[in-house]
Amino acid sequence: MPADTNIGTREREILTAIVETFISTGEPVGSRTLARSNREGLSPASIRNVMADLSDAGFLEQPHASAGRIPTTEAYRYYVEQISGSARLAPQDETVISDSLSGISNVQEFMERTSHVLSLISHNVGVTVAASGPKNALEHVYFSRLGDQKVLAVVVTRSGLVRDRLLRLDLSQSDLDLAARYINDNFRGWTMEAMRCELARRIEQERSEYDRLMHSVEQLYKQGALAAEQGSQVVFVEGAANLVAGEQDRERLQQMLQTLEEKEKVIQLLGAYLDVKQEAVRVVIGLDEALPSLRNFVLIGAPAHAGNEMMGSLAVIGPTRMDYQHTITAVSYIARLFDKILNESE
């Protein structure tokens, strides 16, 4: 990682030019190429000196001794920081999105069409996850101790669905009652996914303040007492074929495609990087923390809210060499449209 990201104006302009040129051409960028388009009229020798400094700082690398330079992961991250919030979606893209999303009446249909339009606009993979909706929001929970290391967890949703699970836990009935009261008082009306995200956060943040209570809640949580039903999240992946053209490593391509075909892994990926409280688009460069097979890939995504409720998430996944500005504005535009479209359809 570069020791100092506060680079000067000249360095920033040259780094931006290198990133944008490489995104456009896919070829290492040389000093002569930059000199032809440099507004300050810098010579190739002067630009080479700046490029050497940027390489020393960890922003550029040289694939071959005689080749130009290409951006590193840190260069892309710096570039994204500079462009975030600075662009508007092109009118033709707004038209494509509006036409694609017209006539939608429910969350699942929105997510299905959105995965397609994101793939179409970005030329990468469009991914959406539709979470369980308001009808599957929590009404109340009840926990009952049945014997040594046996607890019955009963979850009732607002739609009237009753789900029970038998857990192997050693908690007293008083601890179970306390945990149930805490969940019912704090999370009635929340979707299961939103509740689980917030509970995970509170377990870490409030553990010391409510040690006994949060210990009980944590055990119930980890044993799956509040797990969503299988199939409550619907995943749509569109445009995986876009990766085939740009990926030369066949084994790596196979791993990537296999990852995107597995529903649980897609949910895991978006869940790892898109937060229920998040409002702006998030750009994550390098996805290996969540899925090693996507180490050199980028996720540009946002949650989809209806009012204060997170109804799903949407993202573009692609290689580090992608049109960031274009994709960020498209994801942001669609995320903002979600609440408006769903409200109009009700």
- CATH number of the domain where residue 292 is located: 3.30.450.40
- CATH number of the domain where residue 48 is located: 1.10.10.10
Whether residues 180 and 308 fall in one domain: no
Identify which of 163, 304, 166 has the alpha carbon closest to the alpha carbon of residue 230.
163
Whether residues 257 and 282 fall in one domain: yes
Global confidence as pTM: 0.70
Looking at residues 54-67, what average pLDDT do you find?
87
In a domain, 2, yes or no: no
What does the buried/exposed string (b/e) look like for 244-278 if buried means 16 or more CB atoms within 10 Å of the residue's CB?
A: eeeeeeeeeeeebbebbeeeebbbebbbebbebeb
Whether residues 176 and 49 fall in one domain: no
Whether residues 262 and 305 fall in one domain: yes
Domain span at residue 215? 134-222
Structure tokens at 210: 């409510």
pLDDT tens readout for residues 73-132: 999 999 998 886 666 888 888 898 988 888 887 777 888 899 999 999 999 999 998 875
Rounded mean pLDDT of the chain?
82
Predicted local distance difference test score (pLDDT) of residue 18: 94
Predicted local distance difference test score (pLDDT) of residue 301: 94
In a domain, 228, yes or no: no
Whether residues 255 and 337 fall in one domain: yes
Domain count, the chain: 3
pLDDT over 90 (residue 72): yes
Whether residues 100 and 157 fall in one domain: no
Whether residues 212 and 239 fall in one domain: no
Whether residues 72 and 17 fall in one domain: yes
Task: Specify whether the CB–CB gap between 109 and 234 falls below 8 A.
Answer: no
Residue with the larger pLDDT of the pair 119 and 64? 119
Whether residues 114 and 138 fall in one domain: no
Whether residues 208 and 139 fall in one domain: yes
